Structure 1
Amino acid sequence: MTKTIYLAGGCFWGVQGYFDLLDGVLKSSVGYANSEIANPSYELVCTGMSGAVEAIELVYDDEKISLEKIFEEFFSIIDPTLKNRQGNDTGTQYRTGIYADDDESLELAKAYIQTIQPRYKAPIQTEVKKLQNYYLAEDYHQKYLQKNPQGYCHIDLSQARKRG
C-alpha cells in the first residue's frame, strides 16, 4: 500500500538523495513543512521568520519498506541530538523532525525514538508533529544532488547504496 511521511534532517538535498536510493521509495519531493506563512520562498525560510522546516515528502510502498525501516534509515543519517542544525547548516529550518497527517505514524515515530534514546548520551531533539502544511520548494531544489552530484551534502549517500 502507498503511504506518505515527511522527514526533516537538515538540508533537504541530502535527505532526498539518500531516500531516493532505497528500494520501496516510490517518489519524493523537497519542500517546506509547517510554515506559518503560506507558500514561503527559500529566502524567507532561511530568515527563520516562516517557522518552516526543510523537509522531504516521502511516498513509499509499505510492502517493500516499513515505516520502522524508514525511521532506522533516517536516524542513521542524522544526529538527532542536535537542535536546529545538521552538518554545516544551522538555523531553525534545519531542525530534525518527523511529520505526518495520521496519528498512527506519529505514535510509531514517538515509540521508535523512545526505543533508540538509550543509544545517545544527550536527549533526542527530533520533533514529532502533525503535518500542518507542506509547500514544494523551488524547482532548482528538486533532486538537487542528481542534477549537481558534487553539491554539498552532510549525508554519506554511499550508505544508502549499500542498504538499498
Structure 2
Amino acid sequence: MSGERQSSKQEKATFGAGCFWHVEDAFLKEPGVISTQSGFMGGTTENPTYEEVCTGRTGHTEVVEVTYDPDKVTYDRLLDVFWSIHDPTQVNRQGPDIGVQYRSVIFYHNAEQQKLAEASRERIQKASSKPIATSIEPAGKFYRAEEYHQRYFEKTGRRCCGV
C-alpha cells in the first residue's frame, strides 16, 4: 500500500468516532502510525457494503484500523487522539451524522489495550459533566471499506465530513 511507513514492530488499534474519513485523517498525522484502513466492525452482516452499513440494519460501526509502531507511539497516545477528535457523550451520532454506524467505540485487540482503554474512559468521565457513551469491546472481524473511502481527504481535497 502506498504511503505506508516501514517498521519492524507493528500492532493494531481500532476506533470508531463518527465518520471514518475524519478519524483516518487524524490518525494518519500521528507520528508512529504506519498505516490506516477505513472499514466496518461490530455488526452481523458478512462483507457489508457502505450502503448496507448506512441503513443501520447491519449493526456495524464505521471504524479505522490503525497499524502502529509501539516503539514510536504508545497506545495511550492513540487513545488521546481518539478522545480529542469527537464528542464521546453523543449516542449513535457525531454532529450531523446520525446512526449506529457513527457510535463512539474502542475495539481492543488484547487485554492490555482493554485495560488502558477502560482507564482512559474513566479519566474522561471524571472530567465530563455528561455521561460518556463510548463503548469498549473486543475487536471482531474487520471489513475494509470500498477503495474510495481509503484516505478520502487526500484523494478529494475535502477537509470535513457531514453536511
Q: Which amino acid aligns with 1:21?
A: K
1:128 aligns to what? 136
Which structure 1 residue ranges, 4+ long, deviate > 4 Å from structure 2?
none
Residue 97 (1) aligns with residue 93 (2)? no
Higher relative contact order (CA 8 A, sep 6+): 1
How far apart are residue 151 of structure 1 and its match?
5.1
Give TM-score scaled by structure 1 length: 0.90
2:88 aligns to what? 80
Separation in structure 2 between the aligned mates of residue 141 and residue 151 of structure 1, nearest angstrom: 14
Q: CA RMSD in A?
A: 1.1
Residue 115 (1) aligns with residue 128 (2)? no
The 5-angstrom pairing of residues 1-164 of structure 1 reads 1-150=9-158, 152-153=160-161
Structure 2: gaps spanning 5 or more residues: 1-8
Separation in structure 1 between the aligned mates of residue 152 and residue 140 of structure 2, nearest angstrom: 25
Separation in structure 1 between the aligned mates of residue 140 and residue 37 of structure 2, nearest angstrom: 17
Q: Secondary structure at the match of 1:50?
A: coil
Separation in structure 1 between the aligned mates of residue 29 and residue 68 of structure 2, nearest angstrom: 12
* Cα distance per residue 1:50-78 (max 9 Å; x no partner): 10000000001111111111111110111
Give TM-score scaled by structure 2 length: 0.91
CA contact (8 A) 1:30 1:55 kept: yes
Q: Secondary structure at the match of 1:18?
A: helix
How far apart are residue 28 of structure 1 and its match?
0.4
Structure 1: gaps spanning 5 or more residues: 155-164
Separation in structure 1 between the aligned mates of residue 154 and residue 138 of structure 2, nearest angstrom: 30
